[in-house]
């Protein structure tokens, strides 16, 4: 945005400069031509009066010396002709012999008692000329004419020098405008960039972020104030929602625990005909307890701020979780295999342990006896970015493409069966939230042999 503001400002400045300097340059050239014409006309009348007696035959001036002296002093060309247009004197003769200028338009006009002024291109000289031709008269008799010419090259040289000065002044002005434009663009766009950064941080979950309301134009400061008001309100709403979930879950744990204890005590007082109903009731209570625990974990995960933890060596956590779950796996006839690794990934140890526990529990729940749950780590690239991938692969029935897409939805389950290891439908949602809070991710893929491969993607 800063570049667009600067470019717009410079284009406006350039437009103003062009609008001012181009007419000024054209006006200066026209003014120079007019000044030259006026000076030549004045000089021509003076020369005509000076040589009038000689053209009448009553004087004896050296006409060639007169025109030569004028040309030396003014760098112009002077030509004197008689009444027939024959050249009597020329300060810049182009050849020998008598020449006749009667066909020249300005000479013809002067011999017709008119004063001719203007500019034209001379094919003979190969340059533009400013000319003035005046008649030499005595009463009503025309004795000849005086023509003075001045090369436009000299006028153009002065005009070009003036144009260069205008261009130089324009460049200096444009440079000053660029410096001012950069400061102006920074003043306008810096608070907007900070506002964008604040919005990005809030989108990433950092609801404590606020925009600076003391920088930038008044409109931007008002926008930052409105943004902060919205952010505060959003934080209050999210906090109230999270607090409600946490409070409700916490308050439900006590009556559920009491209910389970009462049901367990009833086992000693009921006969066999009602034991099945009691077991079913206990199972439902346990499921509700797991659901409440899951809601608490999810609320904590959603309140976690995004961070980039230091790298953690993965060999220890993989081996520890494998050892902890080994007894449960043995009871189910399943083997847990943790491959050694030297890789490291950015994640806190507590989060990694919680995520691995959830994924291993899910894998054991669907793994048939005699199969293996494999834990291993490797590096891989996803969308041109390098990650360390931790795999929790089972040899169970796996999931369809549609099931893998919905697996992270809250309260969604691939089947209707429940076991003692899980079954709340919140596990993968919690895992996804925990990993996202630390800049990591998770994907569900098809494992070799048709099982499910849960892949944790950690930044290196």
Task: For residue 88, count other CB atoms closer than 10 A to its CB.
Answer: 16
Q: Return the pLDDT at 420.
A: 46
Q: Return the pLDDT at 374.
A: 92
Question: So where are the chain's domains?
Answer: 2-157, 206-303, 307-459
Neighbouring-strand partners of residue 442: 456
**Rounded to whole angstroms, how far apart are CA atoms 155 and 161?**
10
Q: Return the pLDDT at 421.
A: 47
The CATH number of the domain covering residues in 206-303: 1.10.287.130
* 307-459: in CATH 3.20.20.60: no
Cβ pair 145, 134 in contact under 8 A: yes
The CATH number of the domain covering residues in 2-157: 3.30.450.20
Q: Return the pLDDT at 418.
A: 45
Low-confidence ranges of the chain (pLDDT < 70): 1-2, 5, 9, 94-98, 124-125, 245-246, 249-250, 253, 267-277, 287, 290-308, 411-426
Neighbouring-strand partners of residue 392: 375, 454
Cβ pair 428, 452 in contact under 8 A: no
**Rounded to whole angstroms, how far apart are CA atoms 221 and 281?**
60
**Rounded to whole angstroms, how far apart are CA atoms 219 and 201?**
22
Cβ pair 179, 57 in contact under 8 A: no
Cβ pair 387, 442 in contact under 8 A: no
Question: How is 361-391 classified by DSSP, letter by letter?
Answer: HHHHHHPPTT-EEEEEEEEEEETTEEEEEEE
pTM, to two decimals: 0.46
**Rounded to whole angstroms, how far apart are CA atoms 438 and 139?**
109
What would the two tokens of residue 398 be? 């796996």
What would the two tokens of residue 21 be? 């300097």
Tell me whether strands 335-338 and 311-313 are parallel, antiparallel or unpaired.
unpaired
Q: Return the pLDDT at 434.
A: 81
**Rounded to whole angstroms, how far apart are CA atoms 92 and 107?**
16
**Rounded to whole angstroms, how far apart are CA atoms 30 and 159?**
10
């Amino acid at each position: 945005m800063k570049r667009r503001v600067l470019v717009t400002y410079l284009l406006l400045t350039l437009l103003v400069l062009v609008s001012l300097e181009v007419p000024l340059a054209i006006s200066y050239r026209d003014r120079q031509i007019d000044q030259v014409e006026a000076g030549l006309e004045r000089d021509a009348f003076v020369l005509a009066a000076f040589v009038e007696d000689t053209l009448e035959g009553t004087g004896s001036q050296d006409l060639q010396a007169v025109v030569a002296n004028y040309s030396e002093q003014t760098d112009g060309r002077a030509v004197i002709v008689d009444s027939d247009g024959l050249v009597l004197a020329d300060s810049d003769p182009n050849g020998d012999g008598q020449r006749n200028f009667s066909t020249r338009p300005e000479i013809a006009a002067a011999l017709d008692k008119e004063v001719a002024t203007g500019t034209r291109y001379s094919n003979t000289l190969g340059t533009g000329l400013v000319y003035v031709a005046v008649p030499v008269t005595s009463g009503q008799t025309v004795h000849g004419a005086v023509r003075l010419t001045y090369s436009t090259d000299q006028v153009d040289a002065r005009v070009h020098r003036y144009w260069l000065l205008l261009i130089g002044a324009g460049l200096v002005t444009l440079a000053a405008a660029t410096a001012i434009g950069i400061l102006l663009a920074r003043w306008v766009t810096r608070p907007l960039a900070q506002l964008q950064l604040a919005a990005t941080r809030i989108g990433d979950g950092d609801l404590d972020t606020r925009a600076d309301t003391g920088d930038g134009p008044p409109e931007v400061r008002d926008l930052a104030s409105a943004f902060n008001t919205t952010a505060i309100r959003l934080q209050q709403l999210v906090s109230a929602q999270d607090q409600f979930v946490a409070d409700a879950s916490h308050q439900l744990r006590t009556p559920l625990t009491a209910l389970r204890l009462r049901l367990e005590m009833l086992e000693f007082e009921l006969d066999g005909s009602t034991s099945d109903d009691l077991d079913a009731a206990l199972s439902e209570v346990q499921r509700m307890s797991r659901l409440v625990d899951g809601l608490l974990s999810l609320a904590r995960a959603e309140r976690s701020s995004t961070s980039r933890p230091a790298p953690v060596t993965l060999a220890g956590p993989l081996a520890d979780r494998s050892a902890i779950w080994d007894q449960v796996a043995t009871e189910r006839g399943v083997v847990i295999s943790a491959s050694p690794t030297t890789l490291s990934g950015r994640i806190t140890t507590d989060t990694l342990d919680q995520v691995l526990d959830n994924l291993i529990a899910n894998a054991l729940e669907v793994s048939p006896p005699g199969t293996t749950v494999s834990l291993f780590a490797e590096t891989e690239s996803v969308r041109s970015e390098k990650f360390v991938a931790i795999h929790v692969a089972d040899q169970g029935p796996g999931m369809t493409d549609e099931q893998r897409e919905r697996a992270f939805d809250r309260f969604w389950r691939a089947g209707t069966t429940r076991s003692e290891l899980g079954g709340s439908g919140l596990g993968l949602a919690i895992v996804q939230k925990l990993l996202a809070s630390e800049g990591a991710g998770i994907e569900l893929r098809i494992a070799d042999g048709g099982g499910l491969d849960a892949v944790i993607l950690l930044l290196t």
